[in-house]
Amino acid sequence: MKRIFNFSAGPAMLPQSVLEQAQAEMLDWNGSGMSVMEMSHRGHEYMSIAAEAEADLREIMGIPSNYKVLFLQGGASSQFAMIPQNLLRGKGTADYVDTGDWSDKAIMEAKRYGKVNVVASSKIGNYTSVPAFDTWTRDANAAYLHYTPNETIRGVEFGWIPETGDVPLVADMSSTILSRPLDVSKFGLIYAGAQKNIGPAGLTIVIVRDDLIGETLPGTPTMFDYKIHADNESMYNTPATYSWYLAGLVFKWIKQQGGLAGMATLNQRKAQKLYTAIETSGGFYHSPVAPDCRSWMNVPFILANAELDKSFLSEAAQQGLMTLKGHRLFGGMRASLYNAMPEAGVDTLVSFMQDFAKKNG
């Protein structure tokens, strides 16, 4: 069996022990004689899997009891519409922070449902920084404030949580959820597509304060109403059963790693190693992102000589270092270091980068 180090931005690596457990349980889950894939979502076996996954997520994130945890489908992209549909609640305006391509998509979608007030944007600087909070032009009557704590494409991450007072804070945590401890009570709503730090694609997690749901815009489809999903424990329709089960195995794995504090220590160390390699390369590699907002999860870097990009990628692939090509919007390289990327993957990448620079510098 061959396993590579996959630096993809998502779908991304899963912990090997999780895949092995899923493999062992594939044909017969816990003596049921069935694969989890074959179970009715309303049967007692599957209900126990679903409930345990939610309980474990609540435990590792410390989710307060007045928050609903929803296991939905449609990707984070559906949330770009569901959030205004559910959270505008009679208010015409929502605040949005624009720190990259994903923020921008969320803004474009929200504009279909109400007035969007872009409180700050780093577009002019090619989305390589986070605008200082004291420059934000917030609307005190906004229905909510939406931001993207980690912009996956350009690797820009907030090191702080905006203080928005009574205006509920909404966060697209697709590429940073579960990477470190978080005070959930500071948020009105957190959402994330699963395919980076949670599990396989097909599942989207929404954590929402219960007083914010139940008042949708007229015409909102039933499937886009958080209250419907909350009242039906995410089983109004058939959920993504297998992805939910695998997410549950990932939550147990996180617990074994020392929870989110353990993940944070590991993630910070992995990111530090890679940024140090970039910084100490004498200009052979550089990071385009402002130092105070460099992501732990997605590390873009540029080779000073772009003509070497092709050979960098092919020689890296020969060492099992895959999917390092930067996003088509940005170019260069990008290494995504989600929770399941082993530290050995980063060590191998760093030594490859050093050798490559020596050979070609």
Ligand X SMILES: Cc1ncc(COP(=O)(O)O)c(C=O)c1O
Q: Shortest Cβ distance from residue 75 to ligand X (Å)? A: 3
Nearer to ligand X, 6 or 152 (CB): 152
Give the residue, chosen from 152, 164, 234, 281, that forms a contact with ligand X under the rule CB under 6 A.
Answer: 152
Neighbours of 135 (CB within 10 A): 8
Q: Binding mask 2-41 vs ligand X (x if CB under 6 A, - otherwise)?
A: --------x-------------------------------
For ligand X, which stretch binds (CB under 6 A), given 17-25, 172-180, 213-221, 245-253? 172-180
Count of positions on this chain that bind ligand X (CB under 6 A) = 11
Amino acid, single-letter form, for residue 286: H
Instruction: Give the nearer residue to ligand X in terms of CB position, either 75 or 162.
Output: 75
List 196, 244, 253, 270, catalytic entry: 196
Which whole-number Å values give the CA distances from 34 to 26, 31, 247, in the listed order? 8, 8, 19
C-beta closer to ligand X: residue 85 or 152: 152
Residue nearer to ligand X on the CB measure, 77 or 257: 77
Which member of 8, 99, 174, 323 binds ligand X (CB under 6 A)?
174
Instruction: State the catalytic residue, choosing from 56, 101, 104, 172.
Output: 172
- Whether residue 209 contacts residue 139, with contact meaning beta carbons closer than 8 Å, is answered with no
Catalytic residue chosen out of the listed positions 29, 102, 253, 296? 102
Q: Does 56 bind ligand X (CB under 6 A)?
A: no
CA distance 250 to 82: 26
By CB under 6 A, residue 172 contacts ligand X:
yes
Which is closer to ligand X, CB of 75 or CB of 288? 75
Q: Annotated catalytic, 102?
A: yes
Q: Shortest distance, CB of residue 126 to ligand X, whole angstroms?
A: 17
DSSP state of 168: P
The smaller minimum CB distance to ligand X, of residues 78 and 241, is found at: 78
Contacts of 306 (CB under 8 A, 6+ apart): 331, 332
CA distance 4 to 260: 25
Report d(CA 288, CA 293) in Å as an integer: 11
Active site residue 134: no
Is position 355 annotated as part of the catalytic site? no
Residues 72-111: x where in contact with ligand X by CB under 6 A, - otherwise, as a string: ---xxx------------------------x---------
Least gap, CB of 65 to ligand X (angstroms): 27
Length of the chain as a residue count = 361
Q: How many CB atoms lie within 10 A of CB 327?
A: 16
For residues 48, 53, 54, 58, the Cα torsion angle rounded to the nearest 10 degrees is 140
- Residue 216 binds to ligand X (criterion: CB under 6 A): no
Return the percent helix, strand and coil in the chain, to nearest 5: 40, 15, 45
Shortest Å, Cβ 199 to ligand X: 12
For 19-47, letters b (16+ CB in 10 Å) and e give eeebeeeeeebeeeebebeebebeeebbe
Helix (H, G, I), strand (E, B) or coil at 313: helix
Q: Which of residues 186-215 bind ligand X (CB under 6 A)?
A: 193
Half-sphere exposure of 53 (CA within 13 A, CB side): 25
Instruction: Tell me the catalytic residues.
Output: 102, 172, 196
Interface with ligand X (CB under 6 A): 10, 75-77, 102, 148, 152, 172, 174-175, 193
